[in-house]
Copies of this chain bind each other. A is one copy, B any other.
Amino acid sequence: MKEEKKVSVPVIRRLPRYLRHLKEAAANGIRRISSKEIGRKLGATDSQVRQDLNNFGGFGQQGYGYDTETLSENIGHILCTDRNFTAILVGAGSLGTALAKHMGFERYGVTLLALFDNNPEVIGSKISRFTVRPVSEITDFCRKNNPDIAVLTLPGDAVDRSVEILESMRIKGFWNFTGRELNIPGVAIENVHLEDSLMMLTYAVGNPLAHKKETK
Write the residues of chain A forming the contact surface with B, with a CB cutoff of 8 angstroms. 4-5, 9, 12-13, 15-17, 19-20, 24, 78-81, 83, 85, 93-95, 97-99, 101-105, 107-110, 148-149, 172-175, 181, 183, 185-186, 188-208, 210-212, 214-216
Contacts and interface: CB of A to CB of B under 8 A. Distances in A.
B200 A12 contact: yes
A70 to B, nearest CB: 18
A198 B110 contact: yes
Contacts of A102: 93-95
A117 B55 CA distance: 45
A20 B198 CA distance: 13
A148 B205 contact: yes
A80 B202 contact: yes
A193 B101 contact: no
Contacts of A208: 172, 186, 188
Given A80-B203, A81-B202, A192 B194 contact: yes
How many copies of this chain are found per oligomer?
A: 2
B200 A216 contact: no
A197 B189 CA distance: 10
Contacts of A186: 208, 212
Nearest to A4: B207
From A98, A107, A174, residue with most partner B Cβ within 10 Å: A98
Q: List 4 tightest A-B contacts by C-beta distance, closest first.
A: A80-B206, A188-B204, A16-B196, A94-B98
From A103, A107, A199, A206, residue with most partner B Cβ within 10 Å: A199
Contacts of A78: 203
Contacts of A12: 200, 203, 210
B214 A201 contact: no
A161 to B, nearest CB: 20
Nearest to A175: B201
A15 B24 CA distance: 31
B80 A20 contact: no
Contact of A216 (B101, B189, B201): B189
Contact of A199 (B95, B108, B202): B108
A81 B208 CA distance: 15
